[in-house]
Structure 1
Amino acid sequence: MPDRRRVLQTLAGLFLSAFGLGSYAYAWEPAHQGVTRYRLKPADWPEGKSLRLAAISDLHVGGPHVPVSRVREIVDLTNLLRPDLILLLGDFIASRPKRPDDPPEAAWAAELTRLQAPHGRFAILGNHDWWHDDRAQRDYRGPTEVRLALEAVGIPVLENDALRLETKAGPLWVAGLGDQLAFLRPRRGQRRGIHDLAGTLAKIDDDAPVILMAHEPDIFARVPARVSLTLSGHTHGGQVRILGWSPIVPSHYGNRYAYGHVVERGRNLIVSGGVGTSKLPIRLGVPPEIVLVELG
């Protein structure tokens, strides 16, 4: 039978290990930005052509790890990557209730307007960008405060819309889906989301490649092969990820669309782990990231 000293030493070791791991998950990993790189060639991508996409998701500005100064750092790092196109995948707002000391939308939007890419910067909204807006929730319609802030600094917000761009890789469609969880308490007969996948894709009228931005990745189960690449956020990779598995994922599909590059029936999805945190202010095994995609 173990003596009392050995038991106490074991308990102390377990406590210190748990304390150290918790400190790492709260103070270290969420504050250390990385770049996650992917290289892929969709089936319909033109031969010999390349394009570099940068994607930023789930900033959650005003949360415990993302003051406006952190947004400035992320913008600077993204510009150093020299992307051809920058896509912002939603959830600009902190996940907690509003507070009087929250940074104004204009402050972080002004930082995002410094993003530089020859083929432009485009955004979609996430669920928290809708949930934070009392007027939008009450009236069951936009535009949200976040959308107005982005458009005020010249960043187009695509909600069930598609734009055709002329890029160095040839013509390209950038499409943005309305949020799938826009309303916290939908009225009877009211949909929870404003997403319209069929209506968005109906605006594409030629065979140029299509990049689809969809904040929540669950829609990917319905995305047709016509779409070259779907980019999503929302899950934060589960925020805790152990050996490629996340115990909690805000998705109907669990770990299927939790994080990273997913290939199904020849279709490509990349789910960003995002930057900020939601609900619990921790990250473990899924550090904050800017996603860089080399197409071609």
Structure 2
Amino acid sequence: MLTRRGVLKAFGGLVAAGLSSSAYAVGVEPLLRLRTTTYRISPPGWPEGQKLRIVALADIHACEPWMSARRIGDICRHANDLRGDIVVLLGDYLSSMRAVWGKVPPAAWAAALSTLQAPLGVHAVLGNHDWWDDHDAQAIGGGETFSHRALRDAGIAVYSNSAARIETTTGAFWLAGLEDQIALRPGRQWNRYGYVGLDDLPGTLARVTDEAPVILLAHEPDIFPQVPARVSLTLSGHTHGGQVRLFGYSPMVPSAFGNRFAYGHVVEDGRHLCVSGGLGCSIAPVRFGSPPEIMVVELG
């Protein structure tokens, strides 16, 4: 028989469970957990026997206390221990969250990222927050941001609708990087009605001048339906896996495609996409079921 005391105990248990879950989502998973997720892929167009180990970091969102320069440095040391052939950074180094104690200056987070090491170098694209938080770049409607400059000053190659041919001991490949797809916020006279992207997929791929395979870096995964089969692999971030992920589903995903490209290894029409769950937080310092991660992709 259900008594008043039993109802109160059950209610108290639910409240305690809710408080515990909230504390975990704010104080434990975003700050204290870090996982490595590895995908082993042999996509069409990637030569058999051409080995490549990619270590990918996405969505750092530097800020105090959630992603301090010290914590970024710790993540970079862990990334170095994974011994990738190449390291790629998938954008969003800045944070727009209001629930912060303070900002991390670009020089500080870039200095932490400068400790990343790989035989084939460290390569980066920018994300939407790197554009949104640069008021001068927004006012001009393009050009480059202080994140472009901070990364270059740290010795990191930055791709803005550009591509580079990279030679390895087992064969060459092209690394192509798109500029952000929602870089400019609405509000300016020339940009009243919606976000404007600065990405140029056809122009970027036109820089590929031979038959070597192509890896594409694109901060937002929403470009993927337009990516041709010529590209062996697309790497993206942006979604954070939804930040809250239950049983493989995220209630809120910053993508026009919802959960279709929210997280993980996606194969469509023989084309391959890997979406990182990212490292930092956006909007709110909450992660539940989607801990910060470093993504590793092994090709060949």
Fold shared, TM-score > 0.5 on shorter chain? yes
CA distance in structure 2 between the aligned counterparts of 1:104 and 1:137, rounded to whole angstroms: 19
1:103-142 aligned within 5 A: 103-142=104-143
Of 160-169 and 79-88, deviating more is 160-169
Contact map agreement 1:26 1:282 (CA 8 A) in 2: yes
Provide Cα deviations, 1:156-196, integer angstroms capped at 9, x if missing partner. 11010000010133111000001001011154555611000
Alignment RMSD: 1.6
CA distance in structure 2 between the aligned counterparts of 1:57 and 1:115, rounded to whole angstroms: 14
CA distance in structure 1 between the aligned counterparts of 2:46 and 2:80, rounded to whole angstroms: 25
CA distance in structure 2 between the aligned counterparts of 1:269 and 1:25, rounded to whole angstroms: 28
Matched, 1:260 2:261: no
2:298 corresponding residue in structure 1: 294
Query: Segments of 4+ in structure 1 off by > 2 A?
Result: 95-101, 186-191
- % of aligned pairs identical? 52
Matched, 1:234 2:238: yes
Give the 3-state SS of the residue equivalent to 2:294 in structure 1: strand
CA distance in structure 2 between the aligned counterparts of 1:181 and 1:276, rounded to whole angstroms: 19
CA distance in structure 1 between the aligned counterparts of 2:233 and 2:64, rounded to whole angstroms: 30
State the TM-score, normalized to the length of structure 1.
0.96
Matched, 1:5 2:5: yes
Of 187-196 and 260-269, deviating more is 187-196
1:16-35 aligned within 5 A: 16-31=16-31, 32-35=33-36
1:1-296 aligned within 5 A: 2-31=2-31, 32-62=33-63, 64-96=65-97, 101-185=102-186, 187=188, 190=191, 192-296=196-300
Of 59-68 and 153-162, deviating more is 59-68
CA distance in structure 1 between the aligned counterparts of 2:127 and 2:44, rounded to whole angstroms: 29
CA distance in structure 1 between the aligned counterparts of 2:143 and 2:131, rounded to whole angstroms: 8
Shift of residue 29 of structure 1? 1.0
Shift of residue 95 of structure 1? 2.4
Contact map agreement 1:97 1:132 (CA 8 A) in 2: no
Contact map agreement 2:65 2:101 (CA 8 A) in 1: no
Q: Which runs of 5+ in 2 are unaligned?
A: none
CA distance in structure 1 between the aligned counterparts of 2:134 and 2:143, rounded to whole angstroms: 9
State the TM-score, normalized to the length of structure 2.
0.95
The one-letter amino acid paired with 1:107 is A
The one-letter amino acid paired with 1:2 is L
CA distance in structure 2 between the aligned counterparts of 1:169 and 1:284, rounded to whole angstroms: 40
CA distance in structure 1 between the aligned counterparts of 2:147 and 2:99, rounded to whole angstroms: 13
Give the 3-state SS of the residue equivalent to 1:255 in structure 2: helix
CA distance in structure 1 between the aligned counterparts of 2:64 and 2:217, rounded to whole angstroms: 24
Q: Which runs of 5+ in 1 are unaligned?
A: none
The structure-2 alpha-carbon separation of the partners of 1:68 and 1:184, relative to structure 1 and needing over 3 Å to count, comes to same
Contact map agreement 1:259 1:273 (CA 8 A) in 2: yes
The one-letter amino acid paired with 1:29 is E
Contact map agreement 2:94 2:130 (CA 8 A) in 1: yes
Aligned residues: 296
